[in-house]
Amino acid sequence: MITHRARSTRRGTPAEALRDGQSTTLAPVCGIAGKVVVEGQVEQALLDSMCEAIRHRGPDSRGTFIGEGAGLGIQRLAIIDLDTGDQPIANEDDSVVVILNGEIYNYRELRVDLERRGHRFRTRTDTEVIVHLYEEEGHRCVDRLRGMFAFAVWDRRRRQLLLARDRLGKKPLFYAQAPGVLWFGSEPKSLLQDPEIPREADLDAIDAFMQFGYVPDPLSSFVALRKLPPAHLMLWQDGAVDVRRYWRLVYTPKADYGTPEDAHEAVRECLLESTRLRMRSDVPLGAFLSGGVDSTAVVAAMSMQSSGTVKTFSVGFDVDRFDETVHAREVAELFGTDHSEFRLEAKAVEVLPTLVWQYGEPFADESAIPSLYLAEAARRHVTVALNGDGGDESFAGYDHYFAGLVASRLGWIPEPAARAVEAASRAVGGEPPRFSAARRARWLSRATTLSADELGTFMASRFDERERAALYTDDFRSELDRIAPLSGPRVIPRALESSDAPTPLERFLDADVQTYLPSDLLVKMDIATMTHSLEVRSPLLDHEFVELAAKLPASLKRRGRRSKVALKDALRPWVPDAILDRRKMGFSVPLAAWFRNDLRELPKEVLLDRCSIDRGLFREQAVSALITDHLEGRADNSRRIWALLQLELWFRSYIDGPKPEPPVLSAR
């Protein structure tokens, strides 16, 4: 039985709704949940509870299906086909039912082909192409989808569930298993509505979080939950689970474009197409604009293909080192956008409970703060925003790529000499300020002592192995030793080993595409925007655009300190050199200053509280030293302190109490 609520209250199958002249179902394009069982039925009350936990992802309507041992639910944010696009959606005879979180950008082209094959459509929505494509091609339907998605297809005849996640990992999908039962959902808090799922922290995942600042897939911070990795699908039938990878980014063989100019033209054409596809919407649409190369590329492509004025949004700070609004303003004026900018101050105490609660797992990327505020501000004007995520990973935009290459080439330095240099740099005392020359020198001296795998892990680490060993209590270390081998430390080496990239630079890029991009950057943006019911689309993460970039020679990505070579050169006919060649700033926040001023009491009050110390994970003296050294200016430990805060407040929100609830912080 399919039900839909908010704009419609009548219950019945899609066929009945169609015969009565009504829309099919009321559900979300932005949050899905469900449960399937070998025996018995899924309770409507549980399904409603799972949907209610993610209402923020899709406030427009709720739709559910219950039957034959399956329960599917969705909270919909209406973007396309506002009147008849409600979910779940079924095929012509109601034997296949689908729920979708995300967007299928090539749905119009797929629909034309499916109609030629005799399929009848009831709606204009992108979701409906999935059920008909599944009828034609089964689980291989994912191969033809171009978009961001996490979806579930219930085959009623086979009693088989298909779960699938998009190639780059734009949309999340968690699941839990028990004998004869499978749960799934867009966020952990949805699955945790079922009391059958225990709320126990996964120490392997906690160790990985301490290392990277995020929990990499397929791990989850909960023992009972796992993440379906990007580019994977899952088939569940009669309690048996089969997880398969359906796509992998490849870097060889390299494409032959003849000349660099031909390559630049290919980049421009693919950028325009991927942006055009993401401008399909029946609701107001805009763009995030930082003033950097990637967001500038997207705004340029939008402006060239928009019939009206593009709306753009940026966020700034009162600390010049972190403020890019003047650059965003310059790009906005260049393309004549309707531009809005917002200022952010040290209000982390206000946003921390929301941040911890919404992310559902410990998450230490501090740029989640401005992302939350930017999404909230943009949502007052638009329902969909495009952004520039993905450019750094495709075109080698991060400075650590250059540093990593330098370190790998300096590997000929005898290890004793390299370690002596590192020891001398540490003798100066403390952790140098972020972005400082002293910080880079210390980083490089340590990096030259490492193997390729160790270097990749070191570049991605917030707390490296030695720092974690000094921080962990004996009891915590013993527990980690008991569950060895740990998955976290192997995340980067596995990504490097699986890559077919022919150069060290491209192997680093591929490792980030497999780890940092889906587990940090895309999680950050998905949760920040869905918290405010805003959908964000990323043209530079179109899988065809990413594939094009991967096949370019490494020399067209980075040459020494010059990054994003092909992308910048492709944009030069549209954008002045002064904008393209400006030094990269990155999207960060002035945590160091905040923790020494407005928020100086917060770390001590939370991290040295008896609740935190008695948890038994970290040495009290080590935590106290981190805080004191930062407050007294001997070190910049701001990002490490932030990670510890995120972890402790996650424990209080999701593990400590009788039921998950947002943390409460004292007002200041």
Q: Spell out the SS3 assignment of 292-309.
A: CHHHHHHHHHHHHHCCCC
- My answer on whether 304 and 213 are in the same domain is no
**Over residues 299-311, mean pLDDT:** 95
309: left (phi over 0), alpha (psi -120 to 50) or beta: beta
One domain for residues 259 and 198 = no
C-alpha–C-alpha distance, residues 380 and 365, integer Å: 25
**Stretch 369-382: mean pLDDT, rounded?**
92
Q: Are 260 and 383 within one domain?
A: yes
Closest CA to 465 of 228, 665, 279, 207: 207
Among 240-244, 528-532, 580-584, top mean pLDDT goes to 240-244
If you average pLDDT over residues 518-547, what whole number do you get? 95
Query: How many other CB atoms are found less than 10 A from the CB of residue 667?
Result: 6
Provide the percentage of residues in the chain whose pLDDT is more than 90: 69
CATH number of the domain bearing residue 512: 3.40.50.620
Q: Which domain holds residue 300?
A: 248-413+448-583
DSSP H helical ranges for 158-218: 188-191, 203-212
Nearest to 255 by CA among 244, 245, 264, 243: 264
Average pLDDT of the residues in 341-355: 78
Domain co-membership, 162 together with 125: yes
What sign results for the dihedral spanned by CA atoms 581, 525, 82, 125? positive
Asked if the structure places residue 429 within a domain, the reply is no
C-alpha 257/C-alpha 255 separation (Å) is: 6
- Is residue 662 in some structural domain? no
Q: Do 541 and 170 touch, CB atoms closer than 8 A?
A: yes
Looking at the structure, tell me whether residues 222 and 359 fall in a common domain.
no
Q: Is the pLDDT of residue 6 over 60?
A: no
| pLDDT given at position 651 | 97
Is 421 a member of any domain?
no
> What's the CATH number where 41 sits?
3.60.20.10
Task: Count CB neighbours of 82 within 10 A.
Answer: 15
Which of the four pLDDT bands, split at 50, 70 and 90, describes residue 7? very low
| Whole-number pLDDT of residue 351 | 81
Predicted pLDDT of residue 193: 95
pLDDT score for 8:
35
Domain total in the chain: 3
User: What is the SS3 assignment for 536?
Assistant: strand
When pLDDT is averaged across residues 367-379 and rounded to a whole number, the result is 91
Dihedral sign from CA coordinates of 513, 507, 549, 364: positive
Q: Please indicate, yes or no, whether residues 562 and 597 belong to a single structural domain of this protein.
A: no
Say if residues 408 and 324 touch (Cβ distance below 8 Å): no
CA atoms within 13 A on the CB side of 427: 6
Known catalytic membership, residue 611: no
Residue 205 has pLDDT above 60, yes or no: yes
Establish how many alpha carbons lie within 13 A of residue 74's alpha carbon, considering only the half-sphere containing its beta carbon.
31
Residue after which a domain boundary falls, among 583, 602, 632: 583
pLDDT at position 428: 47
Do 302 and 392 lie in a common domain? Answer: yes
Instruction: Assess whether 212 and 302 both reside in one domain.
Output: no
| Structure-token pair, residue 136 | 């034609």
- Catalytic residue (one of 30, 51, 141, 270): 30
Where does the pLDDT of residue 23 fall: very low under 50, low under 70, confident under 90, or very high at 90 and above? very low
Which of 230, 245, 260 is the last residue in one of the domains?
Answer: 245
Band (pLDDT 50/70/90 cuts) for residue 542 is very high
pLDDT tens for each residue of 47-60:
999 999 999 888 77
- Write the burial class of residue 343 (CB in 10 Å: 0-12 exposed, 13-18 middle, 19+ buried): exposed
| Residues 540 and 630 reside in one and the same domain | no
pTM beyond 0.85: the answer is yes
Give the angle subtended at the CA of 45 by the CAs of 44 and 46, to the nearest 5°. 90
In a domain, residue 6? The reply is yes
CA pair distance 302, 273, nearest whole angstrom: 10
Are 217 and 501 spatial neighbours (Cβ–Cβ below 8 Å)? no
For residue 218, cis peptide bond before it (omega within 30 degrees of 0): yes
Q: Does residue 424 belong to any structural domain of this protein?
A: no
Structure tokens at 537: 């689309």
Whether residue 438 lies inside any domain: the answer is: no
The answer to whether residues 231 and 268 belong to one domain is no
Do 52 and 117 lie in a common domain? yes
How does the average pLDDT of the chain come out, rounded?
87
For residue 319, is pLDDT > 90?
no
Residue with tokens 């059920």: 131
Q: Check whether residue 527 and residue 625 sit in a common domain.
A: no
Q: Quote the CA–CA distance of 313 and 375 in Å, as a whole number.
A: 9
The reply to whether 92 falls in a domain is yes
Residue burial 635-645, b: 16+ Cβ < 10 Å; e: rest: bbbbbbbbbbb
Which CA distances in Å does 17 have to 26, 153, 373? 11, 20, 40
The answer to whether residue 419 is domain-embedded is no
d(CA 424, CA 447): 15
The pLDDT value recorded for residue 15 is 32
- Confidence check: pLDDT of 529 > 70: yes
Last residue in a domain, options 245, 267, 287: 245
